[in-house]
Structure 1
Amino acid sequence: MLEFIRGLFKAEEKQSEPVKVAENSETEKYFHLWMSYFVDAYTDFVEGDEKKLPTVYSYLASGDIKVTVKAADAIARYMEKLDYVGICHLDDWFRQLTSMEWSIDWKGISPKDIRTKTRKDYLWVLRLGTFHPNGYFREKCVKELQYDKGSLIFIILRLNDWVPEVRRVASKACLEMPAIQYSEVIPCLLYLEKLRQRGIPNDAVIRDLEDKISDTAQNQTTLIDRTFVRTHGEIERRVAYRFFVSRKLVNKAETDNIISWEKNSQLQALLMTLLIQNYEVSTEELDTYINHKSLSVNYKALEVKYERLKDYWAGLENSLLSQSTRIRSYVSHILNQHTSIDIAAYYRERLETSNKKVCILGLGDNGTKEDVETLKPYLEASEEGIVKATLHAIGSLLREDGAEIYWRFLQDSREVVARQAYREIAAHDVRYGAEKIFNLLTETESELLKEKLTLMLLKEPVWDALPYRLMLYASEDEAIKSIIHPFKGRISTYSTMSAEHAEWIKSIMADEKYKIPKGLQDEILFSMKYSIK
């Protein structure tokens, strides 16, 4: 144990925290000093500092039963709480942020020498050991865990280990693993997906594991039901859908049911793709999906039907009234390619129907500047959703030429409308001049408008806007401060200013009421030297 303690002191020296211990000190003195390090690390770790985990783990090699038991218990309690994301994160950082290699010869340490009171703690110690920076120790931990079914996910991650011998041991353990229990199916699929993302070389082992998962899944009466969809996370559902449908472990009707239960649009689109790839879906069935309540399903069905027909079909224009911008755009493309239908006219004719909002947006996407006059009356609508849609449509048609319209509605008391006006200003890079923005900013009581105007001020030419930005520096408004204060004063620009403008900036900085920090003033003065014409 004395050598272990000396190793710890060497590690401390490498961390620029030298511990001076006389060569002739007694072992007992070393022990107490070393123990004090453990107590500090252990306390920090159990109180939430996960960076102390490698330090706590290193004490498992101390040979002291009390320390080992305490460290193992803390490690087990930490590991038990980790989900898929937490384990993957730990796998990525545990080897990188540890100094265990410096102080201990882990090559010579056997996991069996790490004594704990319960097998549960011992298993968690070994599972974390599969992430250890020492390849020899990782290999030993994998060997110890190879017959423990609950540790399979940790062994799976080592199939992509950079040490060939660790990969070999992990592959052997996976190949010799007996039938996988159903409770392990989803966790295994998650970690197999993780390996695919990393480009795993162990294809034969992966196929064997997937075959075992299939064998287990085939014995289940129901693989995915409403409860599964409701209780499992998005990542888990994604890997389950991809695996079960692609292997036809759920049939066509069951897949259709899952589509109706699933609420996530991306997963609905995935299910539609898997359904079409793995089962026969007729054109008539595609028509049903085109009218499905899910917009993601609608789009995929439209896409597949067009890929098959390569032409217009009767009733396609009805999808121009979809709530989905992507669907309307896709259908417009098909109609423009294969028909002479006037899409803008289609929307104009339906402006006074229940599809008013969609038609306003559609006219904005397909009309011309002349259609702005048709749209302007809808800016006066009482429904904020209609006004918002009209602003967006006019923005699509006029772009920066709609500046005065956006300015008016930027000041609207309805937050939804004001935000949309700002989006049009930002999207089309509209500039109003620093003075105009500043004047409105100092007049308004709206916190939202203050925030947006301050952001707009930052988009104005830097020297033009700088006096106004400086005059806002002393503002007590949090929205303004959070935008203005990060400015450090260094300005890289080829633009110039007059001597009079420079003097104005200097006078503002000299005025104590604006509370401009000295460091910021110095940086600005330095930048100004090269910009005065």
Structure 2
Amino acid sequence: MRQLTSELRHKLDQLGTGTVQETAEQLRHLGQSGEYILIPSLLRLMDDDSLVIRQAAEQAVARLIEECPVYELVWLNEHVREWRPSPVIWKRVVEREVHKIDQASTIRLSMLTMHWSGYIREAAVRRMIREDESYSFPYLLLRLNDWVPEIRQLARAALERKLKPEHAKLWMENIMLVERLRICGRDSFESFIESVYHLLRQKECRFVLHNARVSPEPSIRQFAFRISLEAEGTDTRMIMEQALRDENPAIRRWAAQRVDRMLSGQKLREALFGMQLDSVPSIRREGLAVLATMYPDDAKAIIMDRLLDSNLPVRDTARRYAKRWMNVSYAEWYLDVIWGDDQHHLAAAISGLGETGDKADAEVLYEYAKHPSIAVRKAVIRGLMRLDASSYGTHFVDLLKSPQPGISREACRALMHHPYLIQPDVMADLLSDPDALPHVVRNVLRIISSMSKWNQVGLLLLQLPAARHEWVKQAIHRQLYNWARYPNRSYGGRLSAAERERLHKLLSLCGHELDGDLLHRLEWLMQ
């Protein structure tokens, strides 16, 4: 989330401008929004003079905390400290908060563990440890990386006392905060992380791992699958089959990369065949490679079928293993499919011919340039780009203007690989055309970004004053900024006097369109 809508931002600006009851009602609505990014802005009202507002603010923060994912507490921990009192009163504020810490509500205590003052954080952590409630778990884990050593030691000692099977559910619910410790640098956490893993591997925690593998949170599921394979008395087959059926592609991909090491025999064979039905190409590719290696006879039909897969890496993998059976070249095989009756795989066959054919085959592809299927026309563009781009530059330029964004984007990619095929005046006309479609203008700017550095800046400076739409000017300005901000070796060649004079003239014509820093940077680079 992390970004407020304009409506919620307006409500936040209006907060506290009305009566006490109106402010309390506003807080109630904000609490119901589910936007936990509001929490830092609402904390100040938890110290309001009005009891009604204080209670409404605490209730709103409590509701928003319920909507905040555990790992987002890391973000919250950093932003709660954005507001601080003036140095004149900060000592008085600290003394007041520490004095009232025993009367603080649960939600207030949770927020005080993230306070800007180390004295207050320490007092809040001590009370949490004393009360020993389950809600304190994530807040203590955050304090493991506190910049005050005493607070780190308090939190660590309290958490190490909870390294018992009866607390396994809490550890699993907050495991992403444990994983985060790997990138925290204020202490050494390797032994602590390993002790948590050791706990979760124990057979007493088997039921917790089982529930975690069906958690609604993908990151917890992925961790649970990983640690389950290392747990005592684990059923590897069941876990791998469950992971391969998971709705999250990252988990299925993780399982696909390990399936040949974790399964064997008929179970492995069934899993590999099932992976060929997956919608994720990388999973199909992993399964195909293992299937072709371990069960080559069973894999023959699938390999031949995967020669017409919609994904290039999958087709490449299939071609690597199919050559032992092929009696003709791949180009001839794809031609037979193209000229056959299988229209369902026409786009894949055209793509395959573009990948395996030669220059003469480009004429065959061009016959399908006006096919009604967008997928076929896109495959034709990719094939022509590989086989004989220089002969079809006019075709790419015409398709760049297509009202269909996908076709225009494919033509853009072809021209980015071969920018010499489109003339600068053609790009200038498209950028200045008031009727040019937005996706066409964006694609032209992408093509300009693939040209040599000095040609880029010349075209961009030429088009900046002529741009008809404000968003086009902004896009050109952003591209000029990136051009100047990230120089590379393309600047190594010294400009001729004529080229430098031309660029300076263009820069003077649109200098009023550029901010001072960018203008000076461009002038300096031209020198």
TM-score by length of 1: 0.69
1:357 is matched with which residue?
347
The answer to whether the aligner puts 1:288 opposite 2:276 as a matched pair is no
1:85, 1:268 → 2: CA distance? 22
> Of 466, 476, 482, which residue of structure 1 is paired with 2:474?
482
The answer to whether the aligner puts 1:300 opposite 2:271 as a matched pair is no
1:237, 1:349 → 2: CA distance? 46
2:178 is matched with which residue?
192
Decide whether the 8 Å contact of 1:435 with 1:468 is kept in 2: no
The answer to whether the aligner puts 1:422 opposite 2:395 as a matched pair is no
> Of 110, 117, 142, which residue of structure 2 is paired with 1:157?
142
1:525, 1:189 → 2: CA distance? 50
1:291, 1:70 → 2: CA distance? 55
> Of 63, 71, 75, which residue of structure 2 is paired with 1:89?
75
- Displacement of 1:358 after TM fit? 1.3
1:141, 1:362 → 2: CA distance? 65
2:507, 2:116 → 1: CA distance? 60
Q: 1:125 to 1:438 in 2, by over 3 A?
A: same
Deviations 1:379-398 (A, max 9, x none): 12121110011111222333
Name the aligned partner's letter for residue 307 of structure 2: L
The answer to whether the aligner puts 1:372 opposite 2:362 as a matched pair is yes
Name the aligned partner's letter for residue 272 of structure 1: A
1:377, 1:288 → 2: CA distance? 36
1:290, 1:202 → 2: CA distance? 38
Q: 1:362 to 1:148 in 2, by over 3 A?
A: same
2:99, 2:138 → 1: CA distance? 21
Decide whether the 8 Å contact of 1:488 with 1:520 is kept in 2: no
- Displacement of 1:339 after TM fit? 8.8
> Of 113, 128, 144, which residue of structure 1 is paired with 2:100?
113
- Displacement of 1:526 after TM fit? 11
The answer to whether the aligner puts 1:452 opposite 2:452 as a matched pair is no
1:202, 1:458 → 2: CA distance? 45
Could you say what secondary structure the match of 1:267 adopts? helix
1:71, 1:125 → 2: CA distance? 10
Name the aligned partner's letter for residue 190 of structure 1: M
1:525, 1:86 → 2: CA distance? 41
Decide whether the 8 Å contact of 1:181 with 1:216 is kept in 2: no
1:527, 1:161 → 2: CA distance? 44
Decide whether the 8 Å contact of 2:276 with 2:288 is kept in 1: no
1:381, 1:173 → 2: CA distance? 69
> Of 372, 389, 405, which residue of structure 1 is paired with 2:395?
405
1:15 is matched with which residue?
none
- Displacement of 1:113 after TM fit? 2.9
Instruction: Indicate the larger mover: 492-501 or 150-159.
Output: 492-501
Residues paired across the two proteins, number = 472
1:21 is matched with which residue?
none
Decide whether the 8 Å contact of 1:245 with 1:274 is kept in 2: no
Name the aligned partner's letter for residue 270 of structure 1: W
The 5-angstrom pairing of residues 3-22 of structure 1 reads none
The 5-angstrom pairing of residues 133-532 of structure 1 reads 133-146=116-129, 147-177=132-162, 179-180=165-166, 184=170, 186-198=172-184, 201-210=188-197, 212-213=199-200, 217-219=205-207, 223=211, 228=214, 232-247=216-231, 252-253=237-238, 255-260=240-245, 262-273=246-257, 275-280=259-264, 284-285=269-270, 287-294=272-279, 295-305=281-291, 314-315=300-301, 316-334=303-321, 342-351=329-338, 352=340, 353=342, 354-399=344-389, 402-430=392-420, 432-441=422-431, 445-447=435-437, 448-456=439-447, 461-462=455-456, 464-465=458-459, 468-473=462-467, 475=468, 477-486=469-478, 494-496=494-496, 498=498, 502=502, 509=509, 518=512, 520=514
Identity of aligned residues (%): 17
1:107, 1:530 → 2: CA distance? 53
Decide whether the 8 Å contact of 2:58 with 2:108 is kept in 1: yes
Q: 1:258 to 1:224 in 2, by over 3 A?
A: farther
- Displacement of 1:87 after TM fit? 0.7
- Displacement of 1:518 after TM fit? 3.7
1:370, 1:358 → 2: CA distance? 19
1:319, 1:526 → 2: CA distance? 52
Q: 1:252 to 1:82 in 2, by over 3 A?
A: same
- Displacement of 1:127 after TM fit? 2.4
1:500, 1:196 → 2: CA distance? 52
Deviations 1:172-197 (A, max 9, x none): 22232365468646422232222245
The runs of 5 or more residues in structure 1 that have no matched partner are: 1-35, 510-515
Deviations 1:298-346 (A, max 9, x none): 2222344567699997454443222232222233345679999733333
Q: 1:337 to 1:202 in 2, by over 3 A?
A: farther
1:221, 1:240 → 2: CA distance? 6
Name the aligned partner's letter for residue 482 of structure 1: Q
> Of 101, 104, 109, which residue of structure 2 is paired with 1:126?
109
Q: 1:113 to 1:439 in 2, by over 3 A?
A: closer
Could you say what secondary structure the match of 2:68 adopts? coil
Name the aligned partner's letter for residue 350 of structure 1: V
Could you say what secondary structure the match of 1:380 adopts? coil
Could you say what secondary structure the match of 1:292 adopts? coil
Decide whether the 8 Å contact of 1:312 with 1:338 is kept in 2: no
Deviations 1:185-233 (A, max 9, x none): 64222322222454773444434444555666534696368xx47xx24
Decide whether the 8 Å contact of 2:276 with 2:287 is kept in 1: no
1:141, 1:378 → 2: CA distance? 71
Decide whether the 8 Å contact of 1:317 with 1:335 is kept in 2: yes
1:326, 1:424 → 2: CA distance? 19
Decide whether the 8 Å contact of 1:223 with 1:250 is kept in 2: no
The runs of 5 or more residues in structure 2 that have no matched partner are: 1-16, 31-36
